[in-house]
Amino acid sequence: MLDHKQSNALELERPAKILFDQKEDLIGDMLVNTVAFRAIKNAYPRWTIHVLAGAANREVVSSNPDIDKIIPFAGLWRTIKSLRHEHYDIYYFHKNRLTLQDFILLKYAGAKVNIGRDKADFKLFDYSIVAPSETEVERFARLLELLGVNEIDRSYQFHLTPEELSRGASHIATLSGRPVIAFNRYGNHRGKLFSRSRAVQLIREINRVYKGAAIVLLCSPATRHETIGMQGELALDNVLAAAWIRTIRDSAAILRHVDLVVTPDTSIVHIACAFHKPQICVYRDQTELQLWRPMSGQAIILLPRSPSRQVDDLDLTEFARALEKARAWVSFQPTE
C-alpha cells in the first residue's frame, strides 16, 4: 500500500536536513512558513532547510537567509529524483488534503521521517500533528514543538534586496501626496475580490477620508490593463496604477514604503503584516478569518454583510468607519 511506512524516531541531537513541501504555489502559505524557518535556524543553526516550491511562491523566500536551498517543483518523477538525491532526515508536509501525486511523492522521496498534519490514520507519516481550529501560524507552532522548539517569534519575514527596496522607494517618490495608501482589489479565490464598481466606490471613499493622500493601485501583469482602465475611470490625479509590477517582490517593495494597505484576504494581508503596516482587510467569513487572521496589532478586519460570503458585499458605512479609525495610525506619518 502507498500509505504504509514503518515509524521512525526523530533524532534532534544531531544535524538534520529538513524539507518543507510548499509545491502548491500559494504565496500566503509560504510567508507563514517563514515563522518555522527562522525558529528552526535559531534553535538548530547546523540544520539544513530546503523548500519544495512553485514558480510564484518561491519568490517570497528567494532572499531568505534561513533557507539553504529552494527546489522548484518540476513534475512528479523529476522532482522525486531530485529529492531522493538529497537524503532528507525529515519531510514536513503541511497540506491537509492529499492527492495521489502527494502519496507517491511522500512514499518515494526517501526521507527518514515524514511529518504530516491531522493524518494519524495514515501510515505514510511517522508523526501527525493534531492542530484543530487554530490559525496556520499556530499549526506551525505545533510542528516546532514536536521538533523541540518552544521559543517562537510569530511574525512573518519577507526579505528584500537593497536594490528592490531602492526601486520601491523610487516609485513611491514619484507619487504626489501623503500619506501613501496601497489598494489591492484582487484575491485568489471566488468571493475574495472586489468588483470593479465596488473597488471604484472604495477608492473614492479613501480619497474622501484621506484628502491629499496618494493612492497606488496594486496589480499583476495579468490585471495591469484592467487596473489602468480603472485609474482612468476614477479620473483622480492622486490615484496611480502600479503598472511597473512584474512579480510579488515588486508588490512587496511598494508595500514596504506605504502608510496604509486596503485589501481583501490574500497574500497582501500577510506581506503587510511582515512589514508592520497598518491595514484594513476584508475576509469573506469567520472560518477563513480564524485560519488566516493577520498577525498584527494594526489590522482592522471587516466581513461582508451577512449572510453573504463575498467581500464585494462589504458595508460601505463600516468601511468608512474603518478608514477613520485607521487615521490614528497613518495620519501625518512619513513613508519609510
Listed in sequence order, the residues at least 6 apart from 21 whose beta carbon sits closer than 8 Å to its beta carbon are 52, 91, 92, 93, 94, 95, 105
Domain 162-330, second-level architecture? 3-Layer(aba) Sandwich (3.40)
Confidence category of residue 331, pLDDT binned at 50, 70, 90: low
Arithmetic mean of pLDDT, 156-185: 94
Arithmetic mean of pLDDT, 44-72: 96
Instruction: Please give the C-alpha separations between residue 204 and each of 197, 200, 268, in angstroms, as whole numbers.
Output: 11, 6, 21
Alpha helices in the chain (DSSP H): 27-43, 76-86, 100-108, 136-146, 162-173, 196-209, 224-234, 248-255, 267-274, 286-292, 316-330
Instruction: Please give the C-alpha separations between residue 63 and each of 58, 59, 157, 249, in angstroms, as whole numbers.
Output: 10, 8, 10, 10
- 17-146 has CATH 3.40.50.300 classification: no
Dist. CA 247–CA 267, nearest whole Å = 13
Is 11 a residue whose pLDDT tops 90? no
Arithmetic mean of pLDDT, 47-58: 96
Listed in sequence order, the residues at least 6 apart from 241 whose beta carbon sits closer than 8 Å to its beta carbon are 216, 217, 219, 224, 227, 228, 230, 231
Pairing between β-strand 180-183 and β-strand 260-264 as defined by DSSP bridges: parallel
Average model confidence (pLDDT) for the chain? 92
Give me the residue spans of the domains in the chain.
Answer: 17-146, 162-330
The predicted-structure confidence for 69-96, as pLDDT tens digits, reads as follows 999 999 999 999 999 999 999 999 988 8
DSSP 179: S
Question: What sign has the CA pseudo-torsion 186, 189, 195, 201?
Answer: negative
Arithmetic mean of pLDDT, 214-229: 96
Residue 336: the pLDDT is: 45
Q: Which residue has the higher pLDDT, 118 or 147?
A: 147
Confidence category of residue 151, pLDDT binned at 50, 70, 90: confident
Q: How many residues does the chain have?
A: 336
Is it true that 17-146 and 162-330 share their CATH fold? yes
228 in Cβ contact with 151 (< 8 Å): no
Arithmetic mean of pLDDT, 298-326: 96
Dist. CA 319–CA 190, nearest whole Å = 21
Strands laid side by side in the 260-264 sheet: 239-241, 214-217, 180-183, 260-264, 279-282, 299-302
58 in Cβ contact with 249 (< 8 Å): no
